[in-house]
């Protein structure tokens, strides 16, 4: 009892310890949650209760603080964002802690924020939703429907869903639509990655010297849903086409991971783009090999409308 009385003495702050002990004990035992716990464990002796007064005191204090929650950031509990729970183990009453609803929601939001990743993509695109897209232009209806259908099909049959290839002129909203796809997938707890291909491919060249190329390629290969934004705007080279694009698409094809694209080129124009490089001239066969991994695993949708960047 010495250690218990030491705690009680600190609580009493100059009051008569025995009277304070009885007062605090009566108060704790009259607390609704404590009563419910004791009623569910009829084998608990008063001696065990007496030894557990500090735990009961902390439990009641923190439960009362939870009832008057000041918010997660100002949580006064010993373990911020956690609620105490009474447990009976080995003839003594102890405390266990579990995250409160606010803490759970905060962790969920952190987790969801990690589901959307990007390389060189504007912030407004990453905030896009299907609700925020301007639907007044009927020329974009097919693209919006295809984007919504992709999410629905992917959630139901992830390994059987084809990717999307959004083709259209500058500024018609292709990338923004893909941002909405990412956020809808996030709501379904699906991780995705959008890459602005010209800048990302330039970064990969530097990654060779930094010895981070394999790590970056491994990540982009394995992400559940990959979006290659503005494919065809990059400066093509045999290395980019065969070792980077070809390698990524081959892996994703084998693992049945969908890849989505935006481009100013249709399939034929993108094949022409892939076929020529200043270093190696025209290589139609190699371009066709890459395009086979795009054509047969995506749905081509033309996006029309006014240039919204003007």
Domain-terminating residue out of 100, 123, 152? 100
User: Do the domain assignments include residue 45?
Assistant: yes
> Is position 167 within any domain?
yes
Q: Dump pLDDT digits (tens) for 55-113.
A: 888 888 899 899 899 998 899 998 999 999 999 887 788 899 999 988 887 786 666 55
Kindly state whether residues 61 and 145 are assigned to the same domain.
no
Q: Is a pLDDT exceeding 80 seen at residue 3? A: no
Q: Is the same domain home to 87 and 155?
A: no
Residues 282 and 210 in one domain: yes
CATH number for the domain harbouring residue 261: 3.40.50.300
Q: What is the pLDDT of residue 44?
A: 84
**Contact residues for 118 (Cβ-Cβ < 8 A; gap 6+):** 125, 126, 193, 194, 195, 196
My answer on whether 169 and 207 are in the same domain is: yes
∠ CA(302), CA(306), CA(310), 5° rounding? 130
Query: Tens digits of per-residue pLDDT, 241-291?
Result: 999 999 999 999 999 999 999 999 999 999 999 998 877 788 999 999 999
Beta strand extents in the chain (DSSP E only): 82-89, 92-99, 116-119, 163-168, 192-196, 225-229, 259-263, 276-277, 281-282, 298-303
Q: Are residues 64 and 15 in the same domain?
A: yes
Q: Are strands 82-89 and 92-99 parallel, antiparallel or unpaired?
A: antiparallel
59 phi/psi in degrees, rounded to 5:
-60, -50
Q: Quick one: 42 and 134 in the same domain?
A: no
* Domain assignment present for 309: no
**Domain stops at, among 54, 80, 100:** 100
CA-CA distance, 107 to 168, in Å (whole number)?
A: 39
User: What are the φ and ψ backbone dihedral angles of 260, each rounded to 5 degrees?
Assistant: -115, 155
Q: What is the pLDDT of residues 116-170, one digit of tens each?
A: 667 888 888 989 999 999 888 889 999 999 999 999 999 999 999 999 999 999 9
Asked if residues 59 and 84 have their Cβ atoms less than 8 Å apart, the reply is: yes
Where in the sequence is the domain holding 229, given as residue range(s)?
Answer: 110-303
Let me know if residue 78 belongs to a domain: yes
What is the structure's pLDDT at 174?
A: 95
**Same domain flag for 141 and 288:** yes
Rounded to 5 degrees, what are φ and ψ at 121?
-110, 135
- Please state whether the predicted TM-score (pTM) of the whole model is above 0.95: no
- Residues 266 and 272: their CA atoms lie apart, in Å, by 10
Identify which has the larger pLDDT, 52 or 114. 52
pLDDT (0 to 100) of residue 113: 57
pLDDT, tens only, 11-65:
656 666 666 667 777 788 888 888 888 888 888 888 888 788 888 888 888 998 9
Does 139 lie in the same domain as 86?
A: no
For residues 122 and 49, membership in a common domain is answered with no
174-184 pLDDT, tens digit per residue, is 999 999 999 99
Domain for residue 230, yes or no?
A: yes
């Amino acid at each position: 009892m010495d250690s218990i009385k030491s705690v009680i003495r600190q609580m009493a702050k100059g009051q008569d310890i025995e009277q304070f002990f009885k007062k605090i004990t009566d108060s704790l035992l009259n607390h609704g949650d404590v009563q419910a716990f004791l009623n569910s464990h009829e084998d608990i002796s008063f001696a065990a209760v007496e030894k557990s007064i500090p735990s009961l005191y902390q439990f009641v204090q923190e439960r009362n603080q939870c009832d008057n929650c000041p918010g997660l950031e100002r949580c006064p509990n010993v373990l911020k964002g956690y609620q105490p729970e009474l447990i009976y183990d080995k003839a003594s009453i102890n405390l266990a802690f579990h995250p409160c609803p606010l803490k759970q929601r905060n962790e969920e939001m952190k987790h969801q924020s990690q589901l959307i990743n990007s390389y060189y993509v504007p912030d407004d695109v990453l905030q896009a939703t299907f609700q925020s897209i301007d639907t007044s232009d009927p020329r974009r209806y097919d693209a919006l429907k295809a984007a919504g259908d992709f999410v629905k099909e992917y959630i139901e049959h992830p390994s059987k869903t084809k990717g999307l290839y959004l083709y259209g002129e500058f500024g018609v909203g292709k990338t923004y639509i893909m941002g909405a796809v990412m956020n809808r997938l996030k709501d379904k707890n699906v991780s995705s990655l959008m890459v602005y291909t010209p800048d990302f491919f330039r970064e990969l060249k530097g990654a060779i010297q930094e010895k981070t190329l394999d790590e970056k390629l491994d990540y982009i290969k394995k992400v559940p849903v990959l979006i290659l934004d503005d494919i065809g705007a990059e400066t093509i080279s045999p290395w980019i086409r065969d070792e980077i694009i070809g390698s990524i698409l081959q892996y994703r094809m084998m693992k049945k991971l969908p890849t989505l694209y935006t481009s100013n080129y249709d399939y034929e124009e993108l094949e022409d783009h892939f076929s020529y490089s200043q270093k190696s001239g025209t290589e139609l066969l190699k371009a066709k090999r890459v395009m086979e991994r795009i054509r047969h695993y995506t749905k081509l949708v033309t996006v029309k409308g006014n240039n919204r960047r003007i």
